[in-house]
Amino acid sequence: MQMSYPNGLKYTKEHEWIKIEGSVATIGITKYAIDQLGDIVYLDLPKVGASFKAGVNFGTVESVKTVSDLYMPVSCKITEINQTAIDSPDCLAEDAYSKGWLVKVEVENIPADLLSASEYENYIKGGN
Amino acid sequence: MSLPVEEKLKLTPLFEEHLALNGKMVPFAGWNMPVQYTGVVDEHKAVRNSVGIFDVSHMGEIIVTGRGALDYLQGLVSNDVAKLQIGQAQYSALCYENGTLVDDIIIYRRGFDSFFICINASNIEKDFAWFKERCPKQGVHLENVSDDYAQIAIQGPKSRELIAKVVDVKITELAYYHFTEGKVLGVPAIIARTGYTGELGYEVYLPASAAAKIWRGLLQVGHEYSVKPCGLGARDTLRLEVGYLLYGNDMDNTTSALECGLGWVTKFEKNNFVGKEALLKQKEEGLIRKLVAFEMQDRAIGRHGYKVYASSEGENSIGNVTSGCPAPTVGKNIGLAYVNQAYSKLGSQIWIEIRGEKKPALVVKKPFFVHGSAQG
């Protein structure tokens, strides 16, 4: 069974996860967020080459009923988008932390307030 | 991404049942309602293929009785209430003087002078005040019984087989848009062959105190038909596939009964009713805009509030989307939108602005899904 919040990742209070490997990072949304949204049917992701500051809106994820904004966890430049996720958004629910990644980026700056797995889990449960 | 924040909301008598079934609760029209249990698409398909049950206890009910009841209602609503037989239900518009909508309602005729009216959850106080203001001093008695009644909708091709097992009346011959009064699992109820899904279905009005017992009983008895509890999410995708309107989205106090396509329940041949004059004038002069059905030609989804344009470069909006979602049975992204009359013809190309980009859509015929079992 897939772990709810893998330890090697960092998290945001807006429910994105980020896997930082040197100057490169992979970004997705957490299993918790996916469960809250229900059937994900459409992803709107930025183009390769676009630059974002940490905390700004970089795309949207749509379920049958709702549209939710995605917020960039780090300041970065997009190097790759997950075409498989765009073509079959189902893969987010199947595999949120691997097959269901959204974008890969070249990291420019990492904010200090990213959460660890246990901090995120605590946050979801309503703790501090 | 951001998730919605909880508000202080009203609860239906089935709230505990929803929690027990892991229903995902969301705010809707001031109520805390289940949007889904197992998933919108899963529940949608259950209703199209077998049977689903919905808690619609948030809807309101008004009782109108007395020797003046028929005349009073005739002067208030757009449809011809005199045509309504005892035991029959009728969909109607409730208009303001200018022809825009107070609400859309279903009137059930229980006796010669006795009517039961189902109204929208978000409009309960407003509608009852509207009814009261226009009520004659004598001869008509009004009662807002919204808190006394729970309502459960049982919808899907297997709904008749399921309901037949829990009622003490002959249900198999109940015709579309007719109702009967009997007992459901021993509890007195109004059992109507109405619904909001395009499928064969029943809407059952019950005493609020008995709602949980009936809900559990329906799930138990319906097990052999794979009955599923369904949330507001599936209710919305099901109703949109068959082109039914939602008050507050597709119509409100800014849209006229004719613009949103309720001309079929607007009976100009009957004596005066509130809004008749304005609507007649609008009919003679022609409509400036109309509610149309559209199908996206792109993978994006046109949703409530998005602007509509005449071309991909167009700068002036020609209308706005009122409802939109992926349609699970049809397999397309569909919706309803108000557009200028010139773009309302079937086959018209329109463009919907989605996060700054204009995406192509076509005006198509309603309903999107035509093979429902509702009238079979």
pLDDT tens by residue, A16-25: 999 999 999 9
Taking 3-state DSSP, the helix, strand and coil percentages for chain B, each rounded to the nearest 5, stand at 25, 35, 40
Is A16 in Cβ contact with B1 (below 8 Å)? Answer: yes
pTM here is 0.93
Strand partners, B289: B340
The superfamily in CATH containing domain B288-364 is Aminomethyltransferase beta-barrel domains (2.40.30.110)
Pull the structure tokens for residue B362.
């076509």
Reported as a pLDDT band with limits 50, 70 and 90, residue A36 is confident
User: Which residues of B are less than 8 Å from A33 in CB distance?
Assistant: 1, 3
Is A65 in Cβ contact with B1 (below 8 Å)? Answer: no
Which residues have a Cβ under 8 Å from the Cβ of B356 and sit 6 or more positions away?
Answer: none
SS3 B253: coil
Q: What is the pLDDT of residue B6?
A: 55
What ranges do the domains of chain B cover? 14-59+148-242, 60-144, 288-364
User: Which residues of A are less than 8 Å from B327 in CB distance?
Assistant: none
* DSSP assignment string, B184-222: ETTEEEEEES--SSSSSEEEEEEEGGGHHHHHHHHHHHG
Interface of A with B (CB under 8 A): 14-16, 29, 33, 36, 38-39, 41-42, 44, 60-65, 67-71
Asked if B14-59+148-242 and B288-364 have one fold, the answer is no
Could you please state the CATH topology (level 3) that the domain comprising B60-144 is classified under. Alpha-Beta Plaits (3.30.70)
**Contact status, residue A26 vs residue A73, Cβ threshold 8 Å:** no
Could you please state the CATH topology (level 3) that the domain comprising B14-59+148-242 is classified under. Gyrase A; domain 2 (3.30.1360)
State yes or no: pLDDT of B302 exceeds 60: yes
Integer Cα distance of B6 and B338 in angstroms: 31
State yes or no: pLDDT of A127 exceeds 70: no
Radius of gyration of chain B (CA): 21
pLDDT in tens, B73-129: 999 999 999 999 999 999 999 999 999 999 999 999 999 999 999 999 999 999 999
**Contact status, residue B94 vs residue B276, Cβ threshold 8 Å:** no
Residue of B nearest to A38 (CA): B39
B48's enclosing H/E stretch is helix B40-49
